[in-house]
Amino acid sequence: MPSAEVILHQTHGIFANGQWHRIPDTRAVTDPATGNLVGTVAYAGKTEAALAVDAASQAFPDWAARTAEERALVLERWADLISAHREELAKVVTLEQGKPLAEALDEVDGAAKFAKWYAEEAKRVAGEVVPGSARNRRILIWRQPVGVCGLITPWNYPASMVTRKLSPALAAGCTVVLKPALQTPLSAVFLFRLLQEAGCPDGVANLVTGRAADIGEVFMQHPAVRKVSFTGSTEVGKLLIRQSADQVKRLSLELGGNAPLIVFPDADVEAAADGAIANKFENAGQMCNGINVMYVHEQVAAPFIERLAERVQALRVGHGLHPETQMGPLIDHAAVHHAHTLVEDAVRAGARVVTGGHQLTGERYERGSFYAPTVLTGITPHMRIAQEEIFGPVAPVVVFRDEDAVLKTVNATPYGLAAYVYTRDVRRVFEVAERLEFGMVAVNGTSLSVPQAPFGGIKESGEGREGGHFGIEEYLNIKYVSVTLGP
């Protein structure tokens, strides 16, 4: 039975064809709050990635031929095991990623929900029969699993991103090779041990930690891999699009964002400020659908900023395992540097620091990558901080006057993942949601990721959806079969 102790402070190999294989080259996983070692994983390359793809390829015909109920049973057991180990898995998430334990527990519960939901969705994959063009002709439309899939996940949600990809893939009848982020591979190791215990057949799900570029190349060049699903930066997503051309691989891409929050003058201002904080400071601002910039109407700007600043100042920052902690560290020092560079640039261009605006130092934060929760006012949309994804605990506020102009501004970004709106006017709800060029819009709330809804973006935020019945379609091919019955 896997436990946190079996995962932490151990050395893990790659997992291929139902076996863990140790390799000599390894990399340390460290706690971003302390810099301490929390585990060691294989640093694999092309050879190991190809081995894992071969295992997935051999396992594919049998897994695809199983009934939906058989595949669902594995996913149901996986979901139950994740729930049974929620505290231990959450501890691993916190130690390698940094988020407070309460947030890690939410993430783990969400991870179990994806497995549970796709266990059910596996049984709802159906074809169609449409009228033929002749009396003796029948037209059938089937949905069949795509084949072997290469899955690449980021470090910010190291548990839920794994189940969000594996669950629909396995439910559809695909076999997979997962490459988790090198900074947070231990949650994936834990999840794979649970999946093995859930009775997942050998070779159906394989795990390779290691050199990203090499593993990515194997995914793109190995003819057995028919699809790659990637969550991460837009920069790497564009590279994968280019690499996918040679073999016309199917792609799903969940990429970066620049989510606006728009607070209209008729909004419930307190609810808007509270919603803004819940979203912006979750995971220390390292969330793809996290609010990047807050656009607040001039009539409600003063009370909004006052409540925002008051609550942000009160946020307790520290180690994620400490029960008092409300915000943990950023993933590494480079992330702190990136956030601070954007803050400094904004200040040089005329922004005002209401609270925060600096790295946290001193005994409590020594060796960790902590940044103070920050609120900036006097922001204008052309500043770098409004244009680029901050991915840190910094809340820049733009005060606006004109509804039409603010919509043009927020739509001008090349990204299109999520947007948030606060208004009590039902006419405005629909008019604004229709005009926003984003894959997801939340009105009077700031939480979006649930297993039953299609999560994903447009424009440079990617293509494809995860969640809902849309999520399983990403792993299914459509086949049109025309049957002529006779003369």
Cβ atoms of 285 and 390 within 8 Å: the answer is yes
- What's the closest the beta carbon of residue 411 comes to ligand NAP, in angstroms? 18
**By CB under 6 A, residue 241 contacts ligand NAP:** no
Which of 52, 255, 342, 410 is close enough to bind ligand NAP by CB under 6 A?
255
Site string (380-399) toward ligand NAP, x via CB under 6 A = ---------x----------
Interacting positions 274-313 with ligand NAP (CB under 6 A): 288
Which of 7, 53, 152, 294 is close enough to bind ligand NAP by CB under 6 A?
152
Round to whole Å and give the CA distance between 192 and 78: 9
Q: Is the dihedral of CA 283, 286, 287, 290 positive or negative?
A: positive
Round to whole Å and give the CA distance between 438 and 257: 10
Which part of the chain contacts ligand NAP (CB under 6 A), choosing from 148-156, 275-283, 339-347, 361-369?
Answer: 148-156
Site string (194-233) toward ligand NAP, x via CB under 6 A = ------------------xx--x--------------xxx
* Strand partners for 130: 139
- What's the closest the beta carbon of residue 209 comes to ligand NAP, in angstroms? 8
- What's the closest the beta carbon of residue 30 comes to ligand NAP, in angstroms? 13
Which listed residue (288, 389, 466, 474) is catalytic? 288
Cβ atoms of 457 and 257 within 8 Å: the answer is yes
Residue whose token pair is 């000599």? 24
Contacts of 67 (CB under 8 A, 6+ apart): none
Cβ atoms of 284 and 392 within 8 Å: the answer is yes
- What's the closest the beta carbon of residue 72 comes to ligand NAP, in angstroms? 25
**By CB under 6 A, residue 181 contacts ligand NAP:** yes
Residue whose token pair is 């803004």? 276
Closest CA to 18 of 46, 61, 59, 69: 59
- What's the closest the beta carbon of residue 389 comes to ligand NAP, in angstroms? 6
Which part of the chain contacts ligand NAP (CB under 6 A), choosing from 176-184, 299-307, 347-355, 470-478?
Answer: 176-184
136 burial (CB, 10 Å; 0-12 / 13-18 / 19+) is: exposed
Pick 318 or 462: Cβ nearer ligand NAP = 462
Residue 88 among the catalytic residues: no
Closest CA to 89 of 184, 15, 168, 176: 184
Which listed residue (88, 103, 121, 254) is catalytic? 254
Per-position DSSP letters for 4-58, written without gaps between them:
HHHHTTSEE-EEETTEEE--S-EEEEE-TTT--EEEEEE-B-HHHHHHHHHHHHH
Pick 40 or 233: Cβ nearer ligand NAP = 233
Residue 344 among the catalytic residues: no
Return the H-helix or E-strand segment holding 253. Answer: strand 250-254
Interacting positions 446-475 with ligand NAP (CB under 6 A): 457, 462
Number of residues that bind ligand NAP (CB under 6 A): 26
- What's the closest the beta carbon of residue 472 comes to ligand NAP, in angstroms? 17
Positions marked catalytic: 254, 288
Applying CB under 6 A, the residues found at the interface with ligand NAP are 152-156, 179, 181-183, 212-213, 216, 231-233, 236, 239, 254-257, 288, 389, 417, 457, 462
